[in-house]
Amino acid sequence: MLVFKFGGASVKDAEGVKNLGHIVKQYQAQQMLIVVSAMGKTTNALENLTRAYVEQRNDMHDVYEDIKSYHFNIMHNLFEDGHPVFDEVQNTFVEIDWMIEDEPHDNFDFIYDQIVSIGELVSTRIVNAYLNTIGLTSKWLDVRSFIHTDNTYREGVVDWQKTREAIRQDIPMLLQNSIVVTQGFLGGTSENFTTTLGREGSDYTASIFASCLNAESVTTWKDVPGILNADPKLFTDTVKFDELSYNEAIEMTYYGASVIHPKTIKPLQNADIPLLVKSFNQPDARGTVIKEGVVPVFEKPVIIVKQNQVLISISAKDYSFITEDHLSSIFAVFARHHVKANVLQTSALSFSICIDMKPERFDDLLISIKQAFKVKYNDGLSLITLRHYQADSVDQYINGREVLLEQQSRNTIQIVFK
């Protein structure tokens, strides 16, 4: 049994959906579960719609109409007029219609998940309909009935026992007679509200299904030939890894490598299921396989760049040393606001932490910290992480920019700079 995950770039237009169908046809003799992301940049567009709704901006309805038009244009290039999928997609968008009719009253993260989740629900309706159109028996599945989470909106924590029981009870029977198409990124609460698993969480969805179903492998189809040592949009001399160990992949995702969601690897490692990263443009090419027992050779360093960073410096109001008690209360504030640390550094009188800038959480975070500490921060920064680096080559990646924080270990160096 195979699990395939198709990202947004692979289904950004009608040709992409057709290419997905071509790939799936090559494996139709095997049982298959397909996880699909929102199409193209739909998640970004729905995030914009969420903010427009919360802020009650004048362009809210224009943003929404652009999103709907984008999807209906794709469908017009895939299906004849009158195909049932047009009504299915329209009915799915109605969930947004109902929400934006009223002024926002819930917290931002809850609203975010209810609106942004529509991207995956729509994309899978379209993909499922297309697969059936080309002669593949395919069944659409609402993932929210199978991946159960708590109420941590935008970072849903999976209830593994409930999730495993739900998947094992119903999915194997469905796979006997059809390809199963479902949504990445989404989960459901016990109150039947939608949660999301974190940005790029569709990879994690695929690994959850694979581990629960004891799949032969997971293949995530990307717009790159496999896992590279650096982002090809930022660096021209990248190299591809043919193989990586689970541990190295976990380290890369922990530091921010965007090709795989950070939570993806561990469920697969626990079940000893290999993860294949392949190009949807070159489906027959080798790609990268992540599995146990690999000792990769690093001809070049692994380079991970995170933009839009904030470096916060926290010190005691009475100028006392930063103690374990101080750190405990600081970390409690960050945990309460669901803000993750990218780099940490402690001195006698201050504690520095580098985080992603998320405006909807940052302001509340500052207010909470300032109740007990003095706070300074710099925003608009970049963070570069180099793994398996050569000490004499680090300067070339900074290009003479101002360094605000540097942290170095035997295998990894992290630098925050302007």
Which of residues 291, 315, 342 is at a domain's end? 291
Cα 56 from Cα 250, distance rounded (Å): 40
- Answer yes or no: is pLDDT of 176 > 90: yes
Could you tell me if 238 and 316 lie in one domain? Answer: no
Residues of the chain with pLDDT > 70: what percent? 100
Could you tell me if 228 and 274 lie in one domain? Answer: yes
Which pairs from 332-341 meet CB under 8 Å and 24+ separation? 333/365, 333/368, 333/369, 334/365, 336/368, 337/361, 337/364, 337/365, 337/368, 338/109, 338/152, 338/154, 338/155, 339/365
CATH no. for residue 344? 3.30.2130.10
- Domain membership of residue 297 (yes or no) is no
Q: How confident is the model at residue 211, as a pLDDT?
A: 98
Q: Give which of 85, 78, 71, 75 is closest to 40, Cα–Cα.
A: 71
Could you tell me if 230 and 312 lie in one domain? Answer: no
Cα 238 from Cα 235, distance rounded (Å): 6
Q: Give which of 137, 131, 260 is closest to 207, Cα–Cα.
A: 260
Helices (H), 243-358: 246-254, 265-271, 324-336
Domain containing residue 373: 302-417
Q: Which one has a higher pLDDT value, 172 or 399? A: 172
Q: How confident is the model at residue 292, as a pLDDT?
A: 92
Could you tell me if 88 and 12 lie in one domain? Answer: yes
Could you tell me if 282 and 317 lie in one domain? Answer: no
Exposure on the CB side of residue 404, measured as CA atoms within 13 A: 22
Task: Count the residues in the chain.
Answer: 418
Q: How confident is the model at residue 256, as a pLDDT?
A: 86
Q: Give which of 177, 144, 180 is closest to 162, Cα–Cα.
A: 144
Q: How confident is the model at residue 147, as a pLDDT?
A: 98
Could you tell me if 333 and 253 lie in one domain? Answer: no
pLDDT in tens, 226-246: 999 999 989 988 999 999 999
Q: How confident is the model at residue 363, as a pLDDT?
A: 92
Which of residues 257, 291, 325 is at a domain's end? 291
Could you tell me if 286 and 307 lie in one domain? Answer: no
* Interval 279-293 mean pLDDT: 95
Could you tell me if 252 and 357 lie in one domain? Answer: no
Q: How confident is the model at residue 236, as a pLDDT?
A: 87
Could you tell me if 262 and 390 lie in one domain? Answer: no
**Chain mean pLDDT for the chain:** 95
* Interval 297-322 mean pLDDT: 93
- Domain membership of residue 327 (yes or no) is yes
- Domain membership of residue 296 (yes or no) is no
- Domain membership of residue 12 (yes or no) is yes
- Domain membership of residue 27 (yes or no) is yes
Q: How confident is the model at residue 346, as a pLDDT?
A: 93
* Interval 243-255 mean pLDDT: 92
Residues of the chain with pLDDT > 90: what percent? 87
- Which segment of 85-99, 203-217, 315-329 scores lowest on mean pLDDT? 315-329
* Number of separate domains in the chain: 2
Q: Give which of 218, 129, 119, 201 is closest to 158, Cα–Cα.
A: 201
Could you tell me if 195 and 309 lie in one domain? Answer: no
Q: How confident is the model at residue 295, as a pLDDT?
A: 85
pLDDT in tens, 350-403: 999 999 999 888 999 999 999 999 999 999 999 999 999 988 888 888 888 899
Cα 360 from Cα 42, distance rounded (Å): 20
Could you tell me if 210 and 327 lie in one domain? Answer: no
- Domain membership of residue 145 (yes or no) is yes
- Domain membership of residue 369 (yes or no) is yes
Could you tell me if 318 and 269 lie in one domain? Answer: no
- Which segment of 122-136, 250-264, 305-319 scores lowest on mean pLDDT? 250-264
Which of residues 238, 261, 291 is at a domain's end? 291
- Answer yes or no: is pLDDT of 261 > 90: no
- Pairing relation of β-strands 275-279 and 217-222? parallel
CATH no. for residue 15? 3.40.1160.10
Beta bridge partners of 344: 353
Structure tokens of 60? 């809210």
Cα 205 from Cα 187, distance rounded (Å): 9
Q: How confident is the model at residue 417, as a pLDDT?
A: 96
Q: How confident is the model at residue 357, as a pLDDT?
A: 95
